[in-house]
């Protein structure tokens, strides 16, 4: 019922950026080659995600808003997703409980697509619609029916910062997909599909073309790849530091410390290097005792992971200095 939906929604949808994260991840999962994010008023009035992915049949479109309807664990990687990425099969239902949602979607072989409008979990209209293959999800007036939440939202600049964080994380993890972001009718990012280094340049600026150092190390059960920034480009802020585990963004002050440690003597204590590092490992080696909505995770063998990361970064820096 409506109240239960609203309570569950609070777990998944905390702010506009939570909606952005869920919608972008769905578009990535749908095998899209291009994903466009449009926001106005820092997502408070509109969050729209347009993709060219596989789309949904009419039945699936309707089902996608049913809680748990899609909950399924397909492989061990999914288990890891549950642990780190929130509840599965809950996102659309939760979003639709606290906003006005319009879904337009079409699969390749369908002649017509379908369109559904849902307000506060109630289907307002549903019918066939002509459109291209893919899915467009529009989320309007977020929290219009939960004034306490709506009032709790921060200023547009703070909420927009959170949205951009999610956009950067997901587009860094998927450089093979083209991503664009339009904010209040202005194009803020337009990153075509390409290599990771090109994605970094599109997101953080042309000067990154000359400041990236390749970082790579592999053991029997652990692999790290990606880029670190040259020491001379370290900044006073730590906004441009990204760790991904099995292609999902994670926060880890512990691993951050490992990287910072590798730069010792090369940068000042109050400076922070750029890095985008991808860890691949067996999800079974990740401690499951972590709250599902958090991006923090714990490794079973934390010390080894710390050591490998630090030595990988040190080695990359050493090779660069030769
Ligand atoms: P989950 O992603 O955990 O399955 P969601 O509530 O985020 O749950 O989405 C429900 C379902 O709707 C997905 O499993 C997927 O089948 C479908 N879906 C959502 N967004 C898209 C999309 N952009 N393209 C294709 N299918 C989608
Ligand atoms: Mg999802």
Does residue 129 sit in the same domain as residue 276?
Answer: no
Please report which helix (H) or strand (E) contains residue 276, including its range: strand 275-281
Strand-pairing partners, residue 298, are 287
| 74 belongs to a structural domain | yes
Q: Rounded to the nearest whole angstrom, what is the distance from the C-alpha of residue 295 to the centroid of ligand 1? A: 20
Contact 84, 173 (CB under 8 A): no
Does residue 36 sit in the same domain as residue 172?
Answer: yes
Percent of the chain having pLDDT more than 70? 88
Give me the CATH number covering residue 237: 3.30.230.10
* pLDDT tens string 12-24: 789 999 999 999 9
User: Which of 289, 313, 311 shows the shortest CA–CA distance to 300?
Assistant: 289
User: Which of 69-73, 107-111, 166-170 is the least confident region?
Assistant: 69-73
User: Which of 147, 148, 23, 150 shows the shortest CA–CA distance to 95?
Assistant: 23
For a mutational test of ligand 1's pocket, the pick from 22, 54, 64, 131, i.e. the residue with the most ligand atoms closer than 8 A to its C-beta, is 64
Does residue 179 sit in the same domain as residue 217?
Answer: no
* pLDDT tens string 213-229: 999 999 999 999 999 99
| ipTM confidence score | 0.99
Choosing from 157, 191, 225, the residue where a domain stops is: 191
Domain count, the chain: 2
Quote the domain boundaries for residue 280.
Answer: 211-321
Q: Residue with the nearest Cα to atom 1 of ligand 1?
A: 89
Q: Rounded to the nearest whole angstrom, what is the distance from the C-alpha of residue 241 to the centroid of ligand 2? A: 25
Does residue 166 sit in the same domain as residue 258?
Answer: no
Give the pTM.
0.93
Protein residues with CB under 6 Å of any ligand 1 atom: 22, 26-27, 30, 51, 53-56, 64, 70, 88-92, 135
Residue 294 has pLDDT above 70, yes or no: no
Measure Cα distances from 116 to 14, 57, 136, 137, 286 in Å. Answer: 24, 12, 11, 10, 39
Does residue 259 sit in the same domain as residue 288?
Answer: yes
Residue 260 has pLDDT above 80, yes or no: yes
Distance CA 240, CA 206 (A): 15
Phi and psi, residue 208, nearest 5°: -70, -15
Phi and psi, residue 276, nearest 5°: -135, 100
Q: How confident is the model at residue 283 (pLDDT cuts 50, 70, 90)?
A: confident
Q: Residue with the nearest Cα to atom 20 of ligand 1?
A: 26
* pLDDT tens string 50-107: 999 999 999 999 999 987 644 455 555 565 655 545 446 788 999 999 999 999 999 9
Ligand 1 atom at shortest distance from the alpha carbon of 94: 6
């Amino acid at each position: 019922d409506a109240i239960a939906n609203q309570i569950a929604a609070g777990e998944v949808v905390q702010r506009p950026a939570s909606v952005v994260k869920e919608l972008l991840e769905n578009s990535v999962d749908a095998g899209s080659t291009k994903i466009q994010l449009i926001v106005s008023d820092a997502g408070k009035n509109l969050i729209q995600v347009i993709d060219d992915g596989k789309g949904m049949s009419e039945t699936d479109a309707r089902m996608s808003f049913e809680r748990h309807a899609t909950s399924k664990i397909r492989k061990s990687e999914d288990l890891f997703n549950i642990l780190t990425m929130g509840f599965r099969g809950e996102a659309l239902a939760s979003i639709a409980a606290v906003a006005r949602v319009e879904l337009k979607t079409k699969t390749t072989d369908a002649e017509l697509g379908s369109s559904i409008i849902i307000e506060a979990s109630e289907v307002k209209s549903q019918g066939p619609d002509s459109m291209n293959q893919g899915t467009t999800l529009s989320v309007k007036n977020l929290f219009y029916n939960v004034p306490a939440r709506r009032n709790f939202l921060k200023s547009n600049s703070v909420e927009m910062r959170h949205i951009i964080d999610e956009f950067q994380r997901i587009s860094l993890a998927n450089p093979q997909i083209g991503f664009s972001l339009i904010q209040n009718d202005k194009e803020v990012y337009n990153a075509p599909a390409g290599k990771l280094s090109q994605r970094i340049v599109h997101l953080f600026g042309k000067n990154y073309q000359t400041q990236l150092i390749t970082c790579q190390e592999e053991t029997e059960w652990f692999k790290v790849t990606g880029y670190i920034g040259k020491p001379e480009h370290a900044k006073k802020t730590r906004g441009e530091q990204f760790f991904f585990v099995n292609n999902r963004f994670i926060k880890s002050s512990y691993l951050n410390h490992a990287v910072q440690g590798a730069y010792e003597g090369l940068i000042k204590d109050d400076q922070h290097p750029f890095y985008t590092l991808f860890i691949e490992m067996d999800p079974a080696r990740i401690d499951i005792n972590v709250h599902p909505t958090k991006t923090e995770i714990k490794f079973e063998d934390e010390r080894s992971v710390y050591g490998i990361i630090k030595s990988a970064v040190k080695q990359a820096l050493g090779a660069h200095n030769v």
